[in-house]
């Protein structure tokens, strides 16, 4: 069609509610003779090219015929642009590169992209560095590999069983890192790279930033989409401690790249990342000291379990300085000097290395969010409504960039939900009231549901049952003496409210507790279910029984 003989048509369409409607309308208009139809259900418009003099009635009829008995479409106002005007100029607001543009390529991004493609939407993904995001590259996969290797080394060096003699002869950290990198490469290829062609979307590499509320720039490209998802993740935060930025500190990323074990390590923080990596280095022979400003480890936990975890790690050789403030960090010859205030006294520590593990900040600073009308809070986190939509109605967010619970399962669930809300206008919130959390130390810490403080604040009268590790047969067999399982319940109804555990396989136990909470089971139902004997998960039943029974006085499986 010669450009001088074409006209640009903008047609209003009532009844479009999602991208599926857009596809239906575009197909119907194309069959009626429209060229390059582009529909936008949010604006209720469709723009397309026609030859000059074409009867417009056929397109109104096509819109009406595209409906179903349950869902009707109605053609509204229609306008024509001059024949010399291109579609891109006259209908620029409707010229979209994709239905969903995703900034980032981690767990949230891939979950959103897969959901969008399964809905029939087109997707473009932007990645600045390495495909796959935090989990597979620098988070879950390499860290858990490192933890497991350290556990095996610890078992070789210190068996708890009489008559079983083992010996740890050497730690070849470069060889371990090579195996770790190979695992990361394999899983990145299998779980990310190969899925792109399987589901079918485009990946653009480069740094992305907003040009205006509807346009994202990547290099020389300007990309517009019907909806945009920010899934750029988060990075370790650097606390404002004088001198810290001037020393060669480690983060959760660089600690997993070390090919030489430090003799001593100071860890700033005592949360999930700090304890996992700290224990791994401890088990490989490093002397580890954890420093935390809060006076108690995990104050949101029941004291029996928080104290038990600290005791377990202390028993393995870890040092804890809780209720401690770091006032300065500096070099001292070839070591790092850490000045602290502990118990009202100023002290100085010297260490080969320092690991910063005291929180994360969202990756939003290079996106030029003000140009898109996207607000952030005082932490730099995106301001979102319950549907994961930002203050720009076209833009959503998912994953660690939202500062929701930093678990890959949450990130993926947010990605799926954001995609559906953006493309189908479902406007649904994501229920995060039952989120299992697992700390992969040994023993493990796992929680799900409400804490005692949260339950009390919500108006419940709380009762609890505790099954210590010493009465859980699996823990006795494992020679694991610390911790146990706590069940929190509503006194009035008997309904399960939350579960906390410190045990060998607490992460496996918490899966059952999660299902019990989702099913709104009562303590009585937990007490009477058939728990497999000699599993850690039997502790869930024993903790429920402890609400009404002295479980130390029961026979096996009674």
- pLDDT, one tens digit per residue, over 458-497 is 999 999 999 999 999 999 999 999 999 999 999 999 999 9
| Pair 545, 524: CB distance under 8 Å | no
Burial class of residue 32 (count of CB atoms within 10 Å of its CB; 0-12, 13-18, 19+) = buried
Alpha carbon 349 to its chain centroid, in Å, reads 35
pLDDT at 229 over 70: yes
Q: Enumerate the β-bridge partners of residue 321.
A: 291
- pLDDT, one tens digit per residue, over 324-348 is 999 999 998 889 999 999 999 999 9
Distances in Å between the Cα of 31 and the Cα atoms of 23, 24, 78, 156, 195 are 12, 11, 19, 71, 32
**What percent of the chain stands above pLDDT 70?**
96
Distances in Å between the Cα of 33 and the Cα atoms of 1, 54, 70, 76, 398 are 12, 9, 26, 19, 40
Sign of CA dihedral 144, 149, 154, 156: positive
Tokens 């406007």 sit at which residue?
Answer: 427
pLDDT at 40 over 90: no
**What distance in Å separates the CA atoms of residue 283 and residue 157, rounded to the nearest whole number?**
9
Query: Is the model more confident about 128 or about 27?
Result: 128
Please state, rounded to an integer, the average pLDDT across all residues of the chain. Answer: 92
Q: Give the pLDDT of residue 523.
A: 95
For every residue of 358-384, DSSP letters joined together read S-EEES-TTS-HHHHT--B-TTSPBP-
**What distance in Å separates the CA atoms of residue 369 and residue 346, rounded to the nearest whole number?**
43
H or E, element range at 266: strand 264-268
Domains, in order of start, for the chain: 3-94 (3.30.70.100), 99-235+361-424 (3.50.50.60), 244-357 (3.50.50.60), 437-553 (3.30.390.30)
- pLDDT, one tens digit per residue, over 529-552 is 999 999 999 999 999 999 999 999
| Pair 502, 484: CB distance under 8 Å | yes
- Return the SS3 of 37: strand
| Pair 295, 323: CB distance under 8 Å | yes
Tokens of 90: 């006259």
pLDDT at 84 over 80: no
Number of Cβ within 10 Å of residue 140's Cβ equals: 16
- Return the SS3 of 405: coil
- pLDDT, one tens digit per residue, over 183-209 is 999 999 999 999 999 999 999 999 999
- pLDDT, one tens digit per residue, over 267-320 is 999 999 999 999 999 999 999 999 999 999 999 999 999 999 999 999 999 999
């Amino acid at each position: 069609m010669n450009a001088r003989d074409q006209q640009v048509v903008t047609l209003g369409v009532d009844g479009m509610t999602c991208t599926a409607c857009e596809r239906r309308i575009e197909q119907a208009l194309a069959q009626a003779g429209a060229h390059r139809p582009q529909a936008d259900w949010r604006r209720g418009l469709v723009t397309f090219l026609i030859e000059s003099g074409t009867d417009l009635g056929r397109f109104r009829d096509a819109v009406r015929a595209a409906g179903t008995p349950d869902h009707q479409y109605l053609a509204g106002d229609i306008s024509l642009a001059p024949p010399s005007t291109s579609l891109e100029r006259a209908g620029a607001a409707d010229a979209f590169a994709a239905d969903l543009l995703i900034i980032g390529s981690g767990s949230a991004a891939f979950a959103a992209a897969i959901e969008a493609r399964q809905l029939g939407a087109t997707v473009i993904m932007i990645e600045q560095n390495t495909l796959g995001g935090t989990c597979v590259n620098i988070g879950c996969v390499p860290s858990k590999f490192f933890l497991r290797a350290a556990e095996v080394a610890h078992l070789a060096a210190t068996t708890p069983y009489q008559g079983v003699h083992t010996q740890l002869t050497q730690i070849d950290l470069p060889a371990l890192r090579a195996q770790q990198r190979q695992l990361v490469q394999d899983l990145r290829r299998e779980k990310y790279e190969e899925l792109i062609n399987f589901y079918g979307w485009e990946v653009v590499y480069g740094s992305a930033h907003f040009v205006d509320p509807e346009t994202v720039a990547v290099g020389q490209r300007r990309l517009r989409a019907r909806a945009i998802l920010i899934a750029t993740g988060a990075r370790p935060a650097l606390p404002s401690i004088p001198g810290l930025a001037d020393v060669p500190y480690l983060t959760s990323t660089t600690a997993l790249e070390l090919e030489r074990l430090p003799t001593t390590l100071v860890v700033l923080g005592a949360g999930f990342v700090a304890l996992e990596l700290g224990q791994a280095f401890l088990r490989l022979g490093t002397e580890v000291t954890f420093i935390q400003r809060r006076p108690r480890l995990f104050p949101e936990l029941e004291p029996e379990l928080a104290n038990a975890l600290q005791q377990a790690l202390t028993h393995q050789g870890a040092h804890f300085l809780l209720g401690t403030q770091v006032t300065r960090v500096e070099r001292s010859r070839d070591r790092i000097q850490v000045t602290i205030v502990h118990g009202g006294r100023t002290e100085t520590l010297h260490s080969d290395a320092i690991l910063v593990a005291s929180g994360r900040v969202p990756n939003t600073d290079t996106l030029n969010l003000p140009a898109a009308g996207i607000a952030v809070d005082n932490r730099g986190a995106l301001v979102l409504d319950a549907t994961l939509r930002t203050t720009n109605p076209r833009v959503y967010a998912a994953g660690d960039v939202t500062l929701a619970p930093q678990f890959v399962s949450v990130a993926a669930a947010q990605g799926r939900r954001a995609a559906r809300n953006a493309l189908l206008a479902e406007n649904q919130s994501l229920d995060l009231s039952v989120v299992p959390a697992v700390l992969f130390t040994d023993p493990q810490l796992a929680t799900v549901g409400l804490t005692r403080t949260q339950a009390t604040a919500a108006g419940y009268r709380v009762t609890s049952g505790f099954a210590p590790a010493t009465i859980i047969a699996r823990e006795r067999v494992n020679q694991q003496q610390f911790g146990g399982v706590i069940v929190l319940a509503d006194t009035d109804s008997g309904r399960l409210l939350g579960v906390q555990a410190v045990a060998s396989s607490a992460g496996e136990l918490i899966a059952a507790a999660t299902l019990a909470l989702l099913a709104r089971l009562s303590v009585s139902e937990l007490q009477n279910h058939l728990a497999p004997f000699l599993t850690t998960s039997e502790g869930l039943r024993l903790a429920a029984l402890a609400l009404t029974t002295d479980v130390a006085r029961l026979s096996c499986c009674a």
